[in-house]
Structure 1
Amino acid sequence: MGTSRMFRVFVVLGSAFMILLIIIYWDDVGVSHLYLHTPVSPGPKTPHAPPPQQPQTSRTPSFLSDIDAFVNQFLEPGTGEPTDPVPPDTSNQSDKAEERYIPRREWKIHLTPVAAELRERQEQRRKLLQEMCANDSVVFPGKNRSFDDIPNKELDHLIVDDRHGIIYCYVPKVACSNWKRIMIVLSESMLQDGVPQRDPLAIPRDLVHNSSMHFTFNKFWKRYGKFAKHLMKVKLKKYTKFLFVRDPFVRLISAYRNKFELRNDDFYRRFGQVMLRRYANQPTPPATVDEAFSVGIHPSFSHFIQYLLDPQTEKEMPFNEHWRQVYRLCHPCQIQYDFVGHLETAEEDAEHLLRQLRVDNVVEFPTSHRNLTASSWEADWFSTVPIEARRELYKLYEPDFRLFGYDRPEWILNE
């Protein structure tokens, strides 16, 4: 009897122990399931507080409001200027300390006043843009669409610098290489010996135009998904937006000179051969630009204009960025630009802009010997183009003339 009773006692105790183990195990399983996404760290367990009760509302407005709040804490509305106080003057530091890298937010701000005439110039240019966008006599495709309706692929020329609250729309053949260099310096996207590159002219040309060096609006979709467009509009509201333009016909001459008078195999194969076949009676043009130049064959400026006016051209593909109209690159009726620079006044405008951005002590606009196409050459260049073709070309680029204040070239259109 004693043995049997002892056996029953062990069975009862063993069963109770197993039940206790099951309860403990089940509690652990339940906790692991409930906090599956909580990071696990070594150490003793602590009780998990129940998650706070949240009202059942849509998550999207809250997320978008968070984006607004995040941007607002760094920027003053409409200025694109950091709200951090200006740090104390550190000019008494040693020369060695001056050579060390200093984060951009710690740079001393230059507050030299801008000349009244330069401020007035900008006011007039901005006002003209607003008037032309509201003027029904200025008509061009996409003028009246909203920013939301602009396809993502057409936002690839808007470069964003989040460090300083700047958006730059680059226009090829309008000093865009140097402005891209400045954007690389400001955004600190290129390192030299472990610190951001400070000298714009030290940035190699192949990197200047490398898309990986610039964060553009069309890349927002990959990073921010369905919130991309909203974030674009937040930055457009808060950041300082600028672009540089030039006389549309002079820009075309510059594009032709750079891409077809010089040996550019890519442009020769993509465009030059097409022009030679269609307009120069060359059914089998040379295969490479070197072969073409060796026999003295290349598209003339008149062939280039024919190519631009040919309806077949844009049926095959949109205009290349080097001769695409500025209104198609930068969307000036959907984006209210804070600064409109002209290549004809580039040095004054650049100095004014960098001062307005409060980065004139961080970077200077590179001064270099540029082979500029002069406006006075227009008549010579267009002398080989039939007058009807000149007038058709003006219609094609008329919105750029009127939006940015360039006079109608009567001496070219009425000879």
Structure 2
Amino acid sequence: MMGTSRMFHIFVVLGSAFMILLIILYWKEVGVSRQYLHNPVSPGPKIANPAQHQQQQQQPQTPQTPSFLSDIDAFVNQFLEPGTGEPTDPLPAETSNQSEKAEERYVPRQEWKIHLTPVAEDLRQRQVACTNWKRIMIVLSESLLHHGVPQQDPLAIPIEVAHDDNMHFTFNKFWKRYGKFARHLMKVKLKKYKKFLFVRDPFVRLISAFRDKFEGLNQNFYQSFAKVMLRRYANHTTPPDSVDEAFAMGVHPSFLHFIQFLLDPQTEKVSPFNEHWQQMYRLCHPCQIQYDFVGHLETAEEDAEHLLRLLRVDNVVEFPKSHRNVTSTDLESNWFDTVPLEMRRELYKLYEADFRLFGYDRPDSILNE
């Protein structure tokens, strides 16, 4: 009897020491950030006036130390909560009515267990790409205040605010927040959260990327990519240093130069494809991540409506209406007129996995001339 009691006390002491050590290690890695593990869309402090957002960012803020116990609770609860994808606090029954007025649909703060992998946007029609989804996430996170209450109208959120990283709990923030625990916790989040992805026709996506990044005065993309294209494929050994100077001289890469750049084996020897033209299967890893929903940009509004119902937030927010994207499959043949047939076929091979994985037909009108 004495031996059993002694063994019990030894196990209690060792267990307590282990828990204390675990908490110390966790606290050391986590620090005193206010972000919690199950805040997939929550940014930092609430912003009351978007017009003053930039000014407020520059003002010093008094750091607030979070509750140690609440931080640990968030850490533990993430493993204990069921992976239903539902808000951690159930919605009141009366909020299920889709026809309620906006002011009557306010829902107390929820932790929506959602991860978004958006397509890269076309600046000419940003509302049909990731901008509106970022607005949706801001509305759900209740991180932007309007007259003292959370903003509920996605279109009232300015584009620059929607794309402000401070408004979102990004992957980089998650990685910095949890240090060496991040990889393991991300696996948990990927298992428990609803995950969705929006894609578009691969060739139309390339046309959109070219128009967005190389037909306008974009100094970053000119410096990083356009100058390379001009030197390699346009016989400009010393292209102008600035995009303004280049456009004033009528010097800019053509769509053919862009396709040559994509097909050139030297391109990815220098660095991987930019996210705006990297294959979607490489960018979002649909074979490794089991997405709960895959939407298409061509039917963005219909898919978004269905997805919001699936996520059970259609009574909280509506996806904004928008015009159809100006870059459509109808324009593909016009853009590829300058691209030799053999290059088109090589390009299809490069993006064939995207066509097949996401249900897009082979563009025979472009490939069989």
TM normalised by structure 2 equals: 0.73
Change (3 A) 1:205 1:58: same
Most deviating of 218-227 and 303-312: 218-227
Match 1:219 to one of 156, 165, 173: 173
Decide whether the 8 Å contact of 2:132 with 2:320 is kept in 1: yes
Decide whether the 8 Å contact of 1:185 with 1:200 is kept in 2: yes
Secondary structure at the aligned position of 1:287 is classed as coil
- 1:193-238 CA-partner distances (Å, limit 9, x unpaired): 5443322222222232332322233433311122212211111111
Tell me whether 1:55 sits opposite 2:62 in the alignment. Answer: no
Alignment of 1:103-142 (within 5 A): 103-105=108-110
Name 2:118's counterpart in structure 1. 170
| CA-CA distance at 1:250 after TM superposition | 0.6
| CA-CA distance at 1:99 after TM superposition | 7.3
Unpaired runs of at least 5, structure 2: 1-11, 27-71, 122-127
Most deviating of 204-213 and 326-335: 204-213
Tell me whether 1:296 sits opposite 2:271 in the alignment. Answer: no
Decide whether the 8 Å contact of 1:350 with 1:365 is kept in 2: yes
Name 1:306's counterpart in structure 2. 260
Tell me whether 1:396 sits opposite 2:342 in the alignment. Answer: no
Question: In structure 1, how many angstroms separate the alpha carbons of the residues matched to 2:368 and 2:258?
Answer: 21
Decide whether the 8 Å contact of 1:240 with 1:338 is kept in 2: yes
Alignment of 1:265-280 (within 5 A): 265-280=219-234
Secondary structure at the aligned position of 1:55 is classed as helix
Change (3 A) 1:199 1:98: closer
Name 2:319's counterpart in structure 1. 365
Secondary structure at the aligned position of 1:53 is classed as helix
| CA-CA distance at 1:347 after TM superposition | 1.2
Tell me whether 1:181 sits opposite 2:188 in the alignment. Answer: no
| CA-CA distance at 1:330 after TM superposition | 1.1
The count of aligned residue pairs is 302
Q: Amino acid of the residue matched to residue 275 of structure 2? A: E
Decide whether the 8 Å contact of 1:277 with 1:284 is kept in 2: yes
Match 1:351 to one of 281, 301, 305: 305
Q: Please tell me the root mean square deviation across aligned C-alpha atoms, in Å.
A: 3.1
Question: In structure 2, how many angstroms separate the alpha carbons of the residues matched to 1:315 and 1:186?
Answer: 41
Decide whether the 8 Å contact of 1:260 with 1:298 is kept in 2: yes
Decide whether the 8 Å contact of 2:87 with 2:112 is kept in 1: yes
Decide whether the 8 Å contact of 1:220 with 1:228 is kept in 2: yes
Name 1:71's counterpart in structure 2. 78
Q: Amino acid of the residue matched to residue 55 of structure 1? A: G
Question: In structure 1, how many angstroms separate the alpha carbons of the residues matched to 2:186 and 2:164?
Answer: 22
Change (3 A) 1:62 1:353: farther
| CA-CA distance at 1:342 after TM superposition | 0.6
Q: Amino acid of the residue matched to residue 218 of structure 2? A: N
Change (3 A) 1:62 1:288: closer
Name 2:94's counterpart in structure 1. 89
Change (3 A) 1:258 1:395: same
Question: In structure 2, how many angstroms separate the alpha carbons of the residues matched to 1:61 and 1:403?
Answer: 46
Percent identity over the alignment is 70
Q: Amino acid of the residue matched to residue 81 of structure 1? A: E
Larger of the two Rg values belongs to structure: 1
Question: In structure 1, how many angstroms separate the alpha carbons of the residues matched to 2:102 and 2:298?
Answer: 40
Change (3 A) 1:183 1:278: same
Secondary structure at the aligned position of 2:198 is classed as strand
Name 1:201's counterpart in structure 2. 155
Tell me whether 1:405 sits opposite 2:359 in the alignment. Answer: yes
Decide whether the 8 Å contact of 1:169 with 1:243 is kept in 2: yes
Decide whether the 8 Å contact of 2:105 with 2:316 is kept in 1: no
Name 2:4's counterpart in structure 1. none
Question: In structure 1, how many angstroms separate the alpha carbons of the residues matched to 2:95 and 2:249?
Answer: 63
Match 2:209 to one of 251, 255, 272: 255
Q: Amino acid of the residue matched to residue 205 of structure 1? A: I
Question: In structure 2, how many angstroms separate the alpha carbons of the residues matched to 1:377 and 1:90?
Answer: 44
